């Protein structure tokens, strides 16, 4: 009976210790994932396909568009 109680206590201890470490790992992973969305690395920045439907474009308009895209993080 004493051996059985020891085994049960050991199994409970191992189960609880594994449970706590997996929650900590999940918390760390979710924090890292959230941080990746807040400040994504330069290799994963947004890109666009920029084109004009007609020939109604000026140098000033193109420069304004580029500045607006830069401010938006593109």
Q: Which two tokens stand for residue 70?
A: 């830069």
Q: Identify which of 64, 61, 66 has the alpha carbon closest to the alpha carbon of residue 50.
A: 66
Q: Where are the domains of the chain?
A: 2-72
Instruction: Spell 46-56 as b/e; 16+ CB within 10 A means b.
Output: eeeeeeeeeee
pTM of the full structure? 0.40
Structure tokens belonging to residue 71: 């401010």
The string of pLDDT tens digits covering residues 6-39 is 878 878 777 777 655 556 777 888 888 888 888 8
pLDDT digits (tens, 9 = 90+) for 30-72: 888 888 888 877 777 677 888 888 888 889 989 999 999 888 8
């Amino acid at each position: 009976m004493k051996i059985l109680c020891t085994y049960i206590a050991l199994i409970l201890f191992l189960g609880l210790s594994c449970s706590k470490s997996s929650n900590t790992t999940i918390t760390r992973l979710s924090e890292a994932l959230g941080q990746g969305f807040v400040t994504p690395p330069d290799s994963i920045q947004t890109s666009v396909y920029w084109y004009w439907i007609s020939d109604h474009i000026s140098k000033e308009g193109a420069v304004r568009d580029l500045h607006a895209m830069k401010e938006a993080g593109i």
